Chain A
Amino acid sequence: MSNAEKHWEKTRSLLFVTLAIWFVFSIGIFLFAAEMNEVTGPFGYPWTYWFTCQGSLGIFVILVFWFANRQEKIDEEFGFNEREDS
C-alpha cells in the first residue's frame, strides 16, 4: 500500500470515530430525551435541557478542535504536513 493510501485509511478511521461521537450527541441521546430529563444534571439543570442548551454544543466545539489536532498528527506522520505555516 502506498503512503497516500495509508494516510487516507487513517484519515477515514478518524472520520468514523468523529462522526460516531457526533452522532451520539446530536441524535443518539435525544432518543431518550424524556427519560433523561427526569434526572438532574450539571449545574442543577435537567440533563436533556442541559444538553440542548450547553452540553451538546460545547462537546461539538471540543470535538472539532480534537479532530483538527488528530488530523494534523496523521498528516505529519505521513509527511503531508504543510510547511509554510507550521
Chain B
Amino acid sequence: MIKGKFIDNLPKVYGIYTGGFIGFIILMAIGEQMGMTAKAIGVAFVAFTIFIYALIGYLSRTAQADAYYVAGRQVPTVFNGMATAADWMSGASFVAMAGGIYFKGYGYMALLVGWTGGYILVATLLAPYLRKFGCYTVPDFVGTRYGGNLARLCAVIVLTVASFTYVTAQINATGTIASVALDIDFKYAVYIGLISILLCSMLGGMRAVTWTQVAQYIVLIIAYLLPIFWISNKMGAGFFPHFMLADEVARIGELEQQFGFVKNSAADLATVPKGLAGITKAHSAVNATPWAFISLALAMMMGTASLPHVMMRYFTTPSVKAARKSVGWSLFFIFLLYSSAPMLATLSKLSLIDPSLPTGIIGKSFAEVQSIDWFQNWNQANLMFISDFNGNGTLELNEFFMGGKAVVLATPEIAGLPYVISGLVAAGGMAAAMSTADGLILAIANAISHDVYYKMIDPKAETAKRLLVARVLLVVIGFAGATIAAMEIQGILGSVIWAFDFAMSGLFFPLVLGVWWKRANRQGAIAGMVLGLGSAIWYLVWVRTGGSGFLGLTQLTFGIFGAGVSLVAMVVVSLMTEAPDKATQKMVDEVRIPSGRTVTGK
C-alpha cells in the first residue's frame, strides 16, 4: 500500500504530517491556557508522537527482503537526508550537546566540526561506492570484497561492538526522557522506551525505520529550533540568533572577566551532587591546545565514516548519484541543529549569569534564588544546585552548578516560555534518541541475520525464515541493550564517543582501502580489523586503569591509535601475502564505475 504512489506523494504526506504536528502544538498551547497540567501536556506530547511513529511503522510492514533490508532502494535524496539526520543525531546531540558547549566551550566544539566534517569522508570515499556495490549490510561489503567467512565475521564483530556501545546510550536516553515526561521509575521507563523503538522497526525493517526517521526528524528539528528563536526574541537578542548573537558572546566574555573563574576547594566540590558542574571555562576563547582539538575532531570524522548504521542509509537511494547528493542533504539537515546548539548555549548562559537581565541569578541573594519556581523544580530534579561556599550570602559564579541536560531541558522554563515548549522539547529528545536507537538495533540485527545466519549458517533459507530470524534478533538485541542501559554504567555522551573510536579502529581502513586500493586482500583486511579493534580496546583499558597514554590520545580519542595500527597491519600483511585474484580486481573496477548494475547483481 506504500509503493510507487506513496513515494511520489512524499512531500504532500510529510507536509500534512508537519501541519498536523504544528496543529497539535497549538492545541496543547490552548490546553495549557485552559488549565491543562504540565504533566498532562508532557504525557500527551510523548504518547502522541510515539503513537504516530508506531502507526507509520505498522503501515510500512513488509515481507520482502529488499524492502526489509534496504527499503526497496527507492528513497529520494532529500528524504533520505532527513532520515539520515535523525538516524545520526542521537539523544546525545539533542540533549547533551548544548550543555557540553555551555560548560566546556571551544574544546568541546571539536565535536561539532568532527561530526559534520566526517560526512566529507562519507561522500568522497565510501557512500557512492558501497551503494554501487549493492550490498545489504556493511559486513556484506567486507565479506564480498575480501571473500571468505572470516573477514565477514570480523566485520560483524566490529559492527556489533561499536553499535552496541552506542545503542545502550540511546536506550538510556529514551528511558530518561520517558521517566521524566511520564513520571515513572527509570527502570521501567527504559523498557517503555525500548518497546516504542521496536514498534517502529520490527514489522517493516529498513523501510519502516526510514519513514519513521523522517517523521522523527521533523519533530526533533521543530523542537530544537522553536525554543531557540523564541528565547532569542524574548530576550531581545535578535530575531535570527545565528547571525545576531555576537554582542551576547562578547558580553559573556566581559562577565567572565568581571567574575573571574574562582577555583573551588575539593572539600566544597564534594558537597555538589554527582553529575552537576559549574562554569569553569571561557565561553568563546580558545581553551584547548591545537592537538587536543584536532585529535578529537579527527577521531569523530573517521568514526563517522565507519559507523555502519549511517553507511547503510545510503544503500537505500535509487542510484549512486542519489547517494552522493543524499550525503549533502543529510549534512544540511544536521547543520541546522548543530549550528544552533552554540546559540542555545550562549542564550542559556547569558540569561543565567547576566545580573542586568531579569532571569540572571548570579549576584542575587541565596534566599531570592531559592524562592524562584524554576530553580526549585530543577533543584528537585537534581539538575541545579547552589551552595554559599564563601558565606557572603550572595550567589557567585563558582557557587552555581547545573547538569548538562538542563541547558536544553530547563532554558525554555528559565526564559519564561510556556510549558507547552517543555513538552515539545521532551518529544524532540525522545524522537532523537528513538531514531538513532532504531538505526543501530537494525544495523546489528541485519548484520547478524544476513551475514551470519543467511550467508554463513543457512544460505538456502527462504525469505520468510530470514526475516523471521531478523525480527527475533531485533527484539533480543533490543532487550539486551535495555537491560544494560537499566544498569546505568556509563554516561550518555561517554559511550557515544567510544562507539566512534571502536568503529574507526576496526572498520575505517578495511572499508576505504577496499575501494581505493586494489592490492588490499583478505589477510590484510582481517589483520586490520582484528589488530585495529584489539589495540583500541587495549589502549582504552590501559588509559582507564591509570595508564599515561601517548601522543596525547585520551579515552575520547583512542580510535586514532587503533586506526593507525589497523592501517599499518593491513598494508604490511596485504603486501606480504599474494595479491587478490582477477575476479576480485575486476569487482573493484566495477565498483568504481557508477553506471550499470550493482556488483552483487541486485
Q: Are B339 and A81 in contact (CB under 8 A)?
A: no
Q: Is the interface of A mostly helix, strand, loop or mixed?
A: helix
A18 with B120, Cβ < 8 A, contacts A33-B293, A68-B325, A81-B321 known? yes
Asked whether any CB of chain A lies closer than 8 Å to the CB of B226, the reply is no
Q: Mark A49-81, 1 if CB is under 8 A from B, else 0.
A: 101111011101101110110011001000111
- Bound Cα distance from A72 to B321, whole angstroms: 7
Q: Could you say which of B123, B244, B592 contacts A64, with CB atoms under 8 Å apart?
A: B123
Q: Are B294 and A58 in contact (CB under 8 A)?
A: no
Asked whether any CB of chain A lies closer than 8 Å to the CB of B331, the reply is yes
Q: Are A48 and B116 in contact (CB under 8 A)?
A: no
- Bound Cα distance from A67 to B106, whole angstroms: 29
Asked whether any CB of chain A lies closer than 8 Å to the CB of B342, the reply is yes
Write out the residue numbers on chain A whose beta carbons fall within 8 Å of the beta carbon of B325.
Answer: 65, 68
Cβ < 8 Å to A, chain B residues 257-291: 284-286, 290
Shortest CB-to-CB span from A70 to chain B, Å, is: 10
Q: Are A80 and B593 in contact (CB under 8 A)?
A: yes
Asked whether any CB of chain A lies closer than 8 Å to the CB of B595, the reply is yes
Q: Mark A10-48, 1 if CB is under 8 A from B, else 0.
A: 010001001100100111001111100100000111101
A75 with B342, Cβ < 8 A, contacts A4-B589, A81-B321 known? no
Asked whether any CB of chain A lies closer than 8 Å to the CB of B109, the reply is yes
- Bound Cα distance from A44 to B8, whole angstroms: 44
Q: Are A33 and B286 in contact (CB under 8 A)?
A: yes
Q: Are B290 and A85 in contact (CB under 8 A)?
A: no
Q: Are A53 and B293 in contact (CB under 8 A)?
A: no
- How many residue pairs at the A-B interface have CB separations less than 8 Å? 145
| Total number of B residues with any Cβ neighbor in A under 8 Å | 54
Cβ < 8 Å to A, chain B residues 70-126: 106, 109-110, 112-114, 116-117, 119-121, 123-125
- Bound Cα distance from A61 to B328, whole angstroms: 6
Write out the residue numbers on chain B whose beta carbons fall within 8 Å of the beta carbon of A19.
Answer: 120, 124
Q: Are B293 and A30 in contact (CB under 8 A)?
A: yes
Asked whether any CB of chain A lies closer than 8 Å to the CB of B319, the reply is yes
- Bound Cα distance from A65 to B328, whole angstroms: 5
Shortest CB-to-CB span from B498 to chain A, Å, is: 21
| Total number of A residues with any Cβ neighbor in B under 8 Å | 48
Closest A residue, CB atoms, query B301 = A26
Asked whether any CB of chain A lies closer than 8 Å to the CB of B243, the reply is yes
Shortest CB-to-CB span from B349 to chain A, Å, is: 14
Q: Are A64 and B246 in contact (CB under 8 A)?
A: no
Of the A-B pairs whose beta carbons lie under 8 Å apart in the complex, a sample of 14, sorted by A's number, is A4-B593, A11-B592, A19-B120, A22-B124, A33-B286, A33-B293, A45-B245, A49-B284, A52-B106, A52-B112, A68-B321, A68-B327, A80-B595, A82-B321
- Partner-A contacts on B (CB < 8 A): 106, 109-110, 112-114, 116-117, 119-121, 123-125, 128, 242-247, 249-250, 284-286, 290, 293-294, 297-298, 301, 318-322, 324-325, 327-328, 331-332, 335, 338-339, 341-343, 589, 592-595
- Partner-B contacts on A (CB < 8 A): 4, 7-8, 11, 15, 18-19, 22, 25-27, 30-34, 37, 43-46, 48-49, 51-54, 56-58, 60-61, 63-65, 67-68, 71-72, 75, 79-86
